[in-house]
Amino acid sequence: MPRRAQLAVVALVIAVAGCGGDDDGGDSSGPTTITFWNGFTDADRPAVEEIVNRFNESQDEVVVDMTIQPWDVINQTLLSAYSAGEGPTIVAMGAEQFAGYVSTGAWAPIDEVYDEGLLDPATLPAASIEATTYEGERYGVPMSAAAGMLYYNRALFDEAGLPGPPESLEQLAEYAVTLTDYHPADETNSVYGFALPDHGALPHWPVLLWADGGGVVADDNSRSLLGEPASIEAAEFWTDLLINEHISPIGLSGVEGDNLFAAGKAAMVINGPWSSGAFTEAGIDYGIAPIPPGKATQVSAAISVNMHLAADASDAERAAAYQFFAFWNSEESQTYWAIETGYPPNRTDIPPSAVAENPTSAGFAEAVGARLYLQGLTKASQINDDVVIPTIQRMTRGEGTPAELLPEAAAQIDALLAQE
């Protein structure tokens, strides 16, 4: 073969070899390596890494090989990775996506973790247990759990002569109007009473509807409640405050709402514990309070991220994953997690005094009425992103009244529910 052709063949071999898959690593006599994907890319990341390191150092049989990447990337690659047999042994996922994934058959039930006493469901957040139950079987264990709380800017409250956090949603609305200083000619000078996002955030509007006796979908997921009089009345109340009293910019995303609060341009905002670090860094003097009760009940949006086991995990990987699940939810790990991140500990048997070092964690442990939004629905994303959010945006832009738009949205949701 001529020299040039030989070179070309070598180049081809190298190129093809470069496309080859990687080895799974480890041999049968060594420790079991399990892969773990999660999206804790922000301030929580060091705490997640530390707990995984502690687990790896605590024993010789299991190695957790963790990849932290944005949630979007996980969502784009997870199912393809599973179908190629390259998916992670354990993946963390928000409760709102649970039904969509579990219905594809990607995950294995993990009832044994509870049946064999590795974890006691009675000491774990009820919302997390509910969020990981599908057709009577449990498909995950909690990774982090909290509920949305009201952050309020103490300096702005003092300036307006307000004594403390509102005690009812009606009072929250009154405070929001008092605190708002709207400058239509140049909104960069405005201060808003209550930053109320409609997308890319915790479910704010559903909480406002629940609190006044309405809702998006009935508890048994049989039909939509958006067209009910209680939902319409609550929506009219808040829409009016947005359009006519300017208590919040319209069409905010969660990040934009946080930015306003961090800039001292919003007096109240609802969010999870992860925002506290940014608010402290921005020099905001804030307090944390439970979302106050509405006319019907006191409720907040449950935030639940859970760990799930791949359906194709081997027995050894399964046993290794169970060991890690138990370690993550041990008293020691959860105390560390709460102090470092501001999340309340996953275990209800850890006393508040153990995490008092971090007031955010202690504050979030006081959340009332944590409730999952669109729980157990495989069409949850479509219901929220394709119907609820656009309807709220139309409503708040004055492209129709709640009485016109909400029954229409309810019909669209009912059609989606029929496909469940």
Partner 1 sequence: MSRRIQRRRTRTALAFLAPALTVITVFVLWPMASALRASFTDSRILGEAEWVGFENYTRLLSDDRFTNALKNTAWYALVTTPVSVALALGFALLLNRRLPGRGAFRAVLFFPFVASLGVVSIAWAFLLDPQVGLVNHWLNQIGLSIGDGVRDPDWAMPAVMLVGIWRNTGFFMVMYLAGLQSIPRDIREAAVIDGAGPVGRFRYVTWPLLSNTTMFVMIIASIFAFQAFDQMYVMTAGGPFFRTETLVMLIFDTGFRDFEMGYASAMSWALVAIILLLSLVQIGYFRSRAVRY
- For partner 1, the binding residues (CB under 8 A) are 2, 4-5, 8-9, 11-12, 14-16, 19, 75-76, 79-80, 82-83, 100, 104-106, 185-188, 190, 192, 199-200, 249-253, 256, 259-260, 263, 265, 381-382, 385-386, 389-390, 393-394, 397, 399
CB of 255 to partner 1, least distance (A): 9
H/E element holding 66? Answer: strand 62-68
Q: Which is nearer to partner 1, 129 or 252 (CB)?
A: 252
Between CA 310 and CA 128 the distance in angstroms is 19
- Side-chain-side CA neighbours of residue 14 (13 Å): 6
CB of 343 to partner 1, least distance (A): 26
Q: Which is nearer to partner 1, 12 or 122 (CB)?
A: 12
CB of 179 to partner 1, least distance (A): 15
Q: Which is nearer to partner 1, 287 or 390 (CB)?
A: 390
Concatenated DSSP letters for 208-274? HHHHTT--SB-TTSSSB-TTSHHHHHHHHHHHHHHHHS-SS-TT-BHHHHHHHHHTT-BSEEEE-GG
Between CA 233 and CA 225 the distance in angstroms is 12
- Name the H helices within 342-388: 359-364, 380-381
Concatenated DSSP letters for 82-146? HHTT---SEEEEEGGGHHHHHTTT-EE--HHHHHTTSS-GGGS-HHHHHHTEETTEE--EEEEEE
CB of 338 to partner 1, least distance (A): 31
* Tokens encoding 218: 């009935």
* Tokens encoding 319: 């046993």
- CA nearest neighbour of 239 among 227, 254, 250: 250
Between CA 332 and CA 309 the distance in angstroms is 23
- Distance of alpha carbon 202 from the chain centroid: 7
Q: Which is nearer to partner 1, 155 or 263 (CB)?
A: 263
CB of 285 to partner 1, least distance (A): 20
CB of 329 to partner 1, least distance (A): 28
Between CA 237 and CA 253 the distance in angstroms is 21
Beta-strand runs (E) in 290-354 = 300-310
Contact 112, 323 (CB under 8 A): no
Strand partners for 268: 152
Q: Which is nearer to partner 1, 200 or 359 (CB)?
A: 200
CB of 373 to partner 1, least distance (A): 16
Quote the crossing angle between the two packed helices 229-244 and 402-418, to the nearest 10°.
130
Q: How many CB atoms lie within 10 A of CB 275?
A: 25
- Name the H helices within 160-203: 169-179
Q: Which is nearer to partner 1, 14 or 161 (CB)?
A: 14
Q: Which is nearer to partner 1, 63 or 202 (CB)?
A: 202
Q: Which is nearer to partner 1, 299 or 310 (CB)?
A: 310
Q: Which is nearer to partner 1, 397 or 404 (CB)?
A: 397
Backbone angles phi, psi at 199, to 5 degrees: -150, 160
Q: Which is nearer to partner 1, 3 or 28 (CB)?
A: 3
Between CA 264 and CA 154 the distance in angstroms is 10
Q: Which is nearer to partner 1, 291 or 405 (CB)?
A: 405
